[in-house]
Amino acid sequence: MRVGVPKEIKVHEYRVGLTPEAVREYAAAGHEVLVETGAGAGISAPDSAYEAAGASIAANASEVFARAELVVKVKEPQPSEWVQLRKGQILFTYLHLAPDPEQTEGLLKSGVTAVAYETVTDKAGGLPLLAPMSEVAGRLAIEAAGRCLQRHAGGRGVLIGGVPGVPPARIAIIGGGVVGTHAARMAAGLGADVVILDRSLPRLRQLDEHFSGRARTRFSTLHAIEEEILAADVVIGAVLIPGAVAPRLVSRAQLSRMKRGAVLVDVAIDQGGCFETSRPTTHADPTFEVDGVIHYCVANMPGAVPLTSSYALNNATLPFGLALAAGGLDAIRNDPHLAAGLNIHRGRITNAQVAESLRQSYEPAQTALAA
């Protein structure tokens, strides 16, 4: 199969769909790989590195989209990209369709088969292609919070770890999944006063054992969330419902009661955000203030560390991408985990959560593939 890798064009997105090492794996499996010139610049991988791995270099994105049978990206296609997609082509990337009706409509009109990293599953019931970027985003969330807390950035002027004789920052993490766990690891490692809120008692028990007292756990209720955010210097939104719009857990009315200069980091912004006042921002302009509370809502947080992120992502996506390249639609038909990743196929929405969020009709993946 001919595999295409266009350069990412979202603002301050420096990751790349395939690293040179991944290209070598595709080439060794007998696939032709076409990489847009400069696609690897963000990870310091020149065109020559891709050529040495067995790829051909395309002069522009149009050539990649026109020739590729499988398009491998990182972020959701932008308007100038989805108009170049076509029926019979497979798109393999992050999509986050639930809060994005415009992109969804563009993909439906294109006829493309779109497999979303974030809804591919594994035998353990996890989300293996979302996990590596959740790990990166969780860790980055604490770095971002530390910068936003600084007084010149509008924050409270609190050092996350404090110093002897002065208390550390209080950090409330809503959601004890991959993002929340890695945010807590970073925050606890810096000496912060950390609490993790989650609605799963088994998960809270795991976290309690894992952190051995370095982070507190609390069952997540409306009362508990309110109590913790009002006391917090930093709130990390780390709640995920696979494929669906994130629940809104902090209201506008609550902001006026929070500490002035407190920081909200909404890692769930790709899925619409879990704070009522959240809106997507970019690395170029990452924050805004509402009622004295600093909001950090960058929609592609891992793009800030593209070298780490691209390799972490490729480690996870490689076996699935190779399966798609080898089997095409049959790979999706025969693998329930890849089928779970199928969000759109030839003008039909094939993910129930996406369809429900957008109030559109839904067709099961296997039914759509059989048509």
At 250, which CATH number? 3.40.50.720
159 and 255 co-located in one domain: yes
6 and 99 co-located in one domain: yes
Whether 270 is a known active-site residue: answer yes
Sheet bearing 263-266, strands edge to edge: 216-219, 193-198, 170-174, 234-237, 263-266, 293-296, 287-290
CB 325 within 8 A of CB 1: yes
- Count of CB atoms within 10 A of residue 72's CB? 27
Alpha-carbon separation of residue 249 from 225, 238, 254, 274, 370 (angstroms): 8, 11, 10, 6, 40
How many domains in the chain? 2
30 and 136 co-located in one domain: no
Alpha carbon distance 186, 333 (integer Å) = 40
Contacts of 259 (CB under 8 A, 6+ apart): 156, 230, 232, 233
The length of the chain is: 371
144 and 114 co-located in one domain: no
Average pLDDT for residues 365-370, to the nearest whole number? 94
179 and 223 co-located in one domain: yes
The answer to whether the predicted template modeling score (pTM) of the entire model surpasses 0.75 is: yes
269 and 160 co-located in one domain: yes
Give pLDDT, residue 240.
84
β-pair type (263-266, 293-296): parallel
Choice among 31, 96, 337, 345 that is catalytic: 96
Element of type H or E holding 226: helix 222-231
DSSP letters of 136-147?
A: HHHHHHHHHHHH
39 and 170 co-located in one domain: no
DSSP letters of 321-359?
A: HHHHHHHTHHHHHH-HHHHHHEEEETTEE--HHHHHHHT
40 and 64 co-located in one domain: yes
Give pLDDT, residue 271.
87
**Residue 298: pLDDT over 90:** yes
Alpha carbon distance 152, 98 (integer Å) = 36
**Residue 307: pLDDT over 80:** yes
Question: Which residue matches tokens 């807590």?
Answer: 184
Average pLDDT for residues 186-199, to the nearest whole number? 98
List, for residues 126-158, the tens digit of each pLDDT value: 999 999 999 999 999 999 999 999 999 999 999
Q: Rounded to a whole number, what is the distance in angstroms from the first to the last CA of the chain?
A: 23
List, for residues 242-276, the tens digit of each pLDDT value: 778 889 999 999 999 999 999 999 999 988 999 99
Give pLDDT, residue 294.
98
Give pLDDT, residue 241.
82
- Count of CB atoms within 10 A of residue 83's CB? 13
142 and 174 co-located in one domain: yes
121 and 236 co-located in one domain: no
Q: Share the mean pLDDT of the chain.
A: 96
Whether 31 is a known active-site residue: answer no
The alpha carbon dihedral of 352, 241, 118, 37 has a sign of: positive
Contacts of 345 (CB under 8 A, 6+ apart): 113, 114, 365, 368, 369
User: Which of 286, 304, 322 marks a domain boundary?
Assistant: 304
Alpha carbon distance 43, 26 (integer Å) = 19
Give the burial class of 241: count Cβ atoms within 10 A of its Cβ; 0-12 exposed, 13-18 middle, 19 or more buried.
middle
300 and 315 co-located in one domain: no
Question: Which residue matches tokens 């950035």?
Answer: 153
State which residues form the domain around 8. 2-127+306-370
- Cα 144 vs. chain centroid, distance in angstroms? 16
User: Which of 304, 327, 351 marks a domain boundary?
Assistant: 304
Choice among 47, 100, 193, 270 that is catalytic: 270
List, for residues 19-73, the tens digit of each pLDDT value: 999 999 999 999 999 999 999 999 999 999 999 999 999 999 999 999 999 999 9
Residues of the chain above pLDDT 70, percent = 100
- Count of CB atoms within 10 A of residue 291's CB? 13
300 and 310 co-located in one domain: no
User: Which of 252, 270, 304 marks a domain boundary?
Assistant: 304
DSSP code at position 314: H
**Residue 279: pLDDT over 80:** yes
